[in-house]
Amino acid sequence: MTTEDRTAEHSTEGSYVHKGKPFDRDMNYIDDRITRDGRDGWPVEAGRYRLIAARACPWANRTLISRRLLGLEEALSVGMPGPTHDRRSWTFDLDEGGVDPVLGYERLQQAYFARFPDYPRGITVPAVVDVPTRAVVTNDFQRITLDFATEWTALHREGAPDLYPQSQREEIDALNTWMLHRVNNGVYKVGFAGGQEVYEKEYRELWAALDELEERLADRRYLMGPSLTEADVRLFPTLIRFDPVYFGHFKANRQPLVTMPNLWNYTKDLFQTPGFGDTVDLQQIKEHYYIVHEDINPTQVVPLGPDMSGLLEAHDRDRFPTDTWGVGGTAPEPPLAAEVVDPAHTPLHVTGR
């Protein structure tokens, strides 16, 4: 069996749904860390690493938000694959000539193989690549944003928020773990359920969790209180994809998010907050799910709707005590010119009207 064949077995695409079985996400990732002391051999250095983060992917979306909020754009360059991929890898089809301009690669797979020639698992985003060696360092999406917040502090912008405050870490960790299994991955458990009984169980679990979050957001602006934290960075990418994708495509259709006043206004609030909505490409999101997941959408037809222009309407979240950026914190600057989302892929244009 060739290396390419082995990769296809654990690929980013393929058969997600197995008859009669629940969806089981492979949570084994490259767990090397980039730290201030370089204890894993990867010290934090401005300009040394490149973040590969497709806008379509919710796990990658987290890293784009964190990078923006903390002001790491100049220290950590970003490469953005297109919204779809084949059995082998995410590809850089949005770049001129289909090649990442820094790494010189057509496929993210090449960065993985540069370090692990027999890499046996999925070629996933986000991934951080060491530019001098053009080899992947880590794809541990659970750890990457925590390290951005705690290990990259010397490169943070002035006024960067503390997204992982020491006094709240235990509660943030518990909430994040719960959200991972019940919400962030919960939507996938519903969408890739292999049978009616499995589907109904996961559907009920997901909606019970969303109801809990609706209640939690009834007395506070953000998940942890008056200020933004890592928990908000992790929930938002799931919520912004809910009505365009998870509601219909994943059959999580008890009700659209727009009918849940706290969750929907919270989503609008974050979408309108610098660093969140300006990382979202609604067209790429829809193309990714509806084209790649042939198991559940064999026609690969991408829906025109829903109308998402409501994201730009007024929200009611400022009725709560608010200190969005924390003590001494400020909003990030606008995105770099090269990283501005295509205006045609924003709520005013990606609609069902």
User: What residues act catalytically?
Assistant: 57, 188
- Distance, in Å, from the CA atom of 215 to the CA atom of 211, rounded to the nearest integer, reads 6
- Rounded CA separation 140/59 (Å): 10
CA 244/CA 241 separation, integer angstroms: 6
- Cis, peptide link before residue 347, omega less than 30° from 0: no
Structure tokens at 352: 């069902």
Residue 277 amino acid letter: G
Dist CA 191 CA 125 (whole Å): 20
Sign of CA dihedral 254, 258, 264, 268: positive
Report how far residue 342's alpha carbon sits from residue 75's, in angstroms, rounded to the nearest whole number.
23
In whole angstroms, give the CA distance from residue 254 to residue 261: 15
CA triple 329-233-344, angle to 5 deg: 100
Q: Are 68 and 335 in contact (CB under 8 A)?
A: yes
In whole angstroms, what is the distance from residue 97 CA to residue 103 CA? Answer: 13
Q: What angle do CA 278, 75, 45 make, to 5 degrees?
A: 145
Closest CA to 185 of 147, 240, 235, 227: 235
Q: What are phi and psi of 128, to 5 degrees?
A: -105, 130
**Distance between the two ends of the chain, CA-based, in angstroms?**
49
Rounded-to-integer distance, Cα 60 and Cα 300, Å: 23
- Alpha carbons 32 and 40: distance in angstroms, whole number: 6
Q: How many of the other CB atoms lie within 10 Å of CB of 150?
A: 16
Residue 14, beta-bridge partner list: none
